[in-house]
Structure 1
Amino acid sequence: MTAASNVAGAHRDNPAKVSFASMVGTAVESYDFFIYGTASAAYFGTVFFHSEDKLVGVLASFATLAVGFLFRPLGGYLAGHYGDRVGRKTILMWSLVLMGVATVLVGVLPTYDQAGALAPILLILLRILQGIGFGAEWGGAVLMAVEHAPERRRGFFGAVPQIGIPAGLLLANGAFLLSEALLEGSWVWRAPFLLSVVMVAVGIFIRMGVSESPDFAEMKKNNEIRKAPALDVIRRDWRVILKIMTLRLAETGGYYVTTSFMLSYVVLAELTDKQNVLIGTIVGSALGLASHLLYGALSDRIGRKPVFLIGSLFTIAFGIPMFLMINTGAVVMVVVAVALSLLLSHDPIFAVESSWFSEQFPRDVRSSGISLGYNGASLVAGLLPFLATALYGSIGWIGPAVLFMLLGVVSTIAAALTPETAPVKVGTPASSRTTAATI
């Protein structure tokens, strides 16, 4: 049964209202998660780790960045399980609170000079909480949007929460640029973390105004709630979960090579100032506010897979050209390279993930399935800035460039093996198509 046919008798809010609420909350959580990535690349190597070698400090900082990614699957498992048992909306509220508390506490941590080894230990513990909170966010946010949407516009409305990612990135990098211009000392990196308390309060207020997913309401009405949905989907659909993980590598891995790694790369290679990478990221994120909607709407017309392939194939083609552009050190070239990577590599893939991944699973395990697949990719993605830095230290820029390309190859192969689910032909409902959930 499709989402449209499942919701008879269940209350359904305006799809635009629900999608906007999901987007705002996702933007807040993304802001919290991404400011850590920026701070890791630009500040934490010297603030929290006692090393005179700049490369070693960056590697140590990226290691703590990876810790958050390693715990995202746990957040995804918990959120998926309870999202299928107690509701999508409830989990979204708790994930927002957890992320906000952890982020604000990072902003008041003592440095290595003040507390010694205790400082990085506390940083790691808070990064773990961030990882769990962020892992719990995505599945519920996109399902609220997709399950409230009309069947033939799931691609578009499912892409709206995805705007929260570039919006959060835009806010995060903007906050650092502003703090660097206005503040001095440790306040430069502390202020963006402390600002989270205001953003979380706004996100909670907006999300309180929307109703529960109609698909979940219908499940509850019909006594379709499973006792262990996360375990059930792992046993039955583990192949689909693994496929989603590989689909995400070009998007999430390529993103962190383009942003977090590139911030440290331009400094280590003495090419240009890190602010130029931040500017490129801001430009790309600003374009992403519109591109995600365009890609999502396009997927309703031509299918999820063709739009996805725009991004994964561009990732393969752009790896070496991106680094050649950045290696010039010219401000314009750096900004254009980073912005193009986000616009044409990341955005087409990310825009369709919400609808395409959701359509791979039946509604009673949908939250668990997409949360596990989406966050499982983080086990690899979180290590990529560290790996890219190590490759650069060993063989130069060609190492991370080839790594970027290989991510595109893996995701392109996965896309070719994943069934189309969008009802792109008139009179052909999504439910009549073969999906991974029915194989």
Structure 2
Amino acid sequence: MSTPGVAPKRPSAQAARSRENTLVTIMFFAAGIAFLDRFGIAYAFPYIGPDLQLDNTQLGWTMSITALCWAVSSIVFSLFSDRLLGGRKKTIIVTSLVLFSLAAGAVGLAQNFTQLLVIRGIIGALEGPVLPLIQSAVAAASSEHRRGRNLGIVIAGTAIIGSALPPILVVSLSESLGWRAVFPLSAAPGLVIALLVAIFMKESRSTADAPEKPAWRDVGRVLVSRNVLLCGVAAVALIGFTLAFTSFAPLYLAQNSVLSSGTIATVLSLFGLGGALGCVIAPSWSDRLGRKPVFLLASLCTALVPIAILLLHDHAVPLLFSVLLQLLAAGALVIAVYAIPGESVPAPLAATTFAVLIALSEILGGGLAPAVAGALADGFGLSAAMWFCAGLGGLSLVAGMFVKETRPRRTRPDTAQEPLALAEESPPLEHPGRTTTT
């Protein structure tokens, strides 16, 4: 019991940092499971397509429908959480993890294209709330000088668990047990992570009780920001790239490369690992070097990744060059969707901004890009899908050229070592990512 007239002690910097790290670790796995259930199916396409007699366009639509449903539900449920649940994100995150894991397990029951499309749409609708709520919780809990790194670590989970593991796990399980057995097995990790989130995630009371809650009118408020609009264009391109590339790069290599299936699976896994590291490296660099220059470099590398695959697909060692490009490219999406927009709007609008960008990018990029890439592949060959991906990376680069810097390069390296306790005592800023140096 606190003594009257005596203010309660602030938590120590070490305790605050421990809570921050715990939250980031939990959300790393939660986001990773969401993307495992969403993207893991792409590595089973070589088995699903022949079994259900699907062409490339239909396979692309199984990814597009998930993106479209993801987009609508992400913004609806994010606003629902803030308006009706007082910002209590934990309940929606746990519920969503349980339900979409069960839905992902049902993919193995699909007998035709229509059934597969319906199940994939349900998965997208149930997964939609997870990422914007996760990232807004992480952004709010992060110390100012570690925000970019923490947001990147969470996205790294989507790359490691959603991209690096599936090429080996899904392919090997599909070969040994059949593709239908893969999806029920994929449901179990999601249920375990849901339990861990329920136990260890602490709801922020200060956030829940904040007087200003995002509303539907806030969608218009965030879209008047020049940076948000430009990042929206880049996010559309980058989400489109991610879905189209994930859908058709494995098929392109499987059908056009002389390398063995084991070698291809290893290279694809390295892509996932490189992407995971890139999700941390590029945002961390942007904390010190500035958001814009790092974003431009990452977007350029995004455009070069599919070109490198087109040129080097028959040679295992040179093909690793594309993995190095992916190492630098992967962080572009983190910076475009979270870092720059989160520093371009008032703090109470961060969650809404993330949700709006995800919704727009999923509808226009994720919803259309895989279907367009599939149609190009059916009409002109899978190489056309790869060139389409390169063009999307180029679009992100062009949009990034006009972004206004929100975190200029640091001129005082010692400011990066500011103790967390001191940062907590600083007054809140309308634009939390901006710093003033003297």
Name the TM-score, length of structure 1 as normaliser. Answer: 0.81
> Quick check: 1:101 aligned with 2:102?
yes
- Alpha carbons of 1:45 and 1:180: their partners in 2 closer, same or farther (altered >3 Å)? closer
> Quick check: 1:224 aligned with 2:212?
yes
2:419 aligned residue: none
Instruction: Select 1:354's aligned residue among 318, 322, 338.
Output: 338
1:3 aligned residue: none
- Alpha carbons of 1:369 and 1:350: their partners in 2 closer, same or farther (altered >3 Å)? closer
Q: Deviations over 1:17-49 (max 9, x none)?
A: 11011111011111111112222x322222333
- Taking the aligned partners of 1:135 and 1:222, their CA distance within structure 2 comes to 24
2:253 aligned residue: 266
- Alpha carbons of 1:93 and 1:361: their partners in 2 closer, same or farther (altered >3 Å)? farther
1:148, CA displacement in angstroms?
Answer: 0.7
2:79 aligned residue: 81
- Alpha carbons of 1:396 and 1:122: their partners in 2 closer, same or farther (altered >3 Å)? closer
Instruction: Select 1:24's aligned residue among 4, 20, 29.
Output: 29
1:317, CA displacement in angstroms?
Answer: 4.1
> Quick check: 1:92 aligned with 2:97?
no
Equivalent residues in 2 for 1:37-116, closer than 5 Å: 37-39=42-44, 41-49=45-53, 57-85=55-83, 86=85, 87-107=88-108, 109-111=109-111
Structure 1 counterpart of 2:211, one-letter code: N
1:131, CA displacement in angstroms?
Answer: 1.1
Task: Choose 63-72 or 396-405, whichever is displaced more.
Answer: 396-405
1:339 aligned residue: 323
Instruction: Select 1:173's aligned residue among 158, 161, 167.
Output: 167
Q: Deviations over 1:75-116 (max 9, x none)?
A: 211232123232232222122122111101112x143xxxxx
Q: Is the 8 A contact 2:63 2:247 kept in 1?
A: no
SS of residue in 1 equivalent to 2:77? helix
- Taking the aligned partners of 1:204 and 1:281, their CA distance within structure 2 comes to 28
1:135 aligned residue: 128
1:330, CA displacement in angstroms?
Answer: 3.1
1:5 aligned residue: none
1:348, CA displacement in angstroms?
Answer: 4.4
Q: Is the 8 A contact 1:149 1:157 kept in 2?
A: yes
Name the TM-score, length of structure 2 as normaliser. Answer: 0.81
Structure 1 counterpart of 2:102, one-letter code: V
Q: Deviations over 1:161-220 (max 9, x none)?
A: 111111222232232133145x2xxx321233112232012211221212124xxx3344
Note the aligned Cα RMSD (angstroms): 3.1
- Taking the aligned partners of 2:367 and 2:312, their CA distance within structure 1 comes to 25
- Taking the aligned partners of 2:394 and 2:273, their CA distance within structure 1 comes to 27
- Taking the aligned partners of 1:387 and 1:396, their CA distance within structure 2 comes to 12
- Alpha carbons of 1:431 and 1:424: their partners in 2 closer, same or farther (altered >3 Å)? farther
Q: Is the 8 A contact 1:179 1:188 kept in 2?
A: yes
- Alpha carbons of 1:342 and 1:274: their partners in 2 closer, same or farther (altered >3 Å)? farther
- Taking the aligned partners of 2:303 and 2:252, their CA distance within structure 1 comes to 20
- Taking the aligned partners of 1:110 and 1:73, their CA distance within structure 2 comes to 23
Q: Is the 8 A contact 2:29 2:157 kept in 1?
A: yes
Identity rate, percent: 21
Structure 1 counterpart of 2:389, one-letter code: F
- Taking the aligned partners of 1:277 and 1:383, their CA distance within structure 2 comes to 27
- Taking the aligned partners of 1:128 and 1:38, their CA distance within structure 2 comes to 18
Structure 1 counterpart of 2:172, one-letter code: L
* Number of aligned positions between the proteins: 401
Q: Is the 8 A contact 1:172 1:192 kept in 2?
A: no
- Alpha carbons of 1:220 and 1:381: their partners in 2 closer, same or farther (altered >3 Å)? closer
Instruction: Select 1:279's aligned residue among 246, 256, 266.
Output: 266
1:397, CA displacement in angstroms?
Answer: 5.9
Structure 2 counterpart of 1:156, one-letter code: R
Q: Deviations over 1:242-282 (max 9, x none)?
A: 43332224433333343321222234447555554432221
Structure 1 counterpart of 2:77, one-letter code: A
Q: Which runs of 5+ in 1 are unaligned?
A: 1-7, 50-55, 112-118
Instruction: Select 2:184's aligned residue among 194, 210, 213.
Output: 194
- Alpha carbons of 1:433 and 1:362: their partners in 2 closer, same or farther (altered >3 Å)? closer
2:405 aligned residue: 420
- Taking the aligned partners of 1:346 and 1:79, their CA distance within structure 2 comes to 27
Structure 2 counterpart of 1:84, one-letter code: D
Q: Is the 8 A contact 2:278 2:330 kept in 1?
A: no
Q: Is the 8 A contact 1:314 1:344 kept in 2?
A: yes
Q: Which runs of 5+ in 2 are unaligned?
A: 1-8, 417-425
Q: Is the 8 A contact 2:249 2:386 kept in 1?
A: no
- Taking the aligned partners of 1:37 and 1:242, their CA distance within structure 2 comes to 30
Q: Is the 8 A contact 1:244 1:357 kept in 2?
A: yes
- Taking the aligned partners of 1:125 and 1:149, their CA distance within structure 2 comes to 38
- Taking the aligned partners of 1:61 and 1:318, their CA distance within structure 2 comes to 22
1:367 aligned residue: 351
Q: Is the 8 A contact 2:73 2:126 kept in 1?
A: yes
- Alpha carbons of 1:395 and 1:45: their partners in 2 closer, same or farther (altered >3 Å)? closer
1:116 aligned residue: none
2:5 aligned residue: none
> Quick check: 1:388 aligned with 2:373?
yes
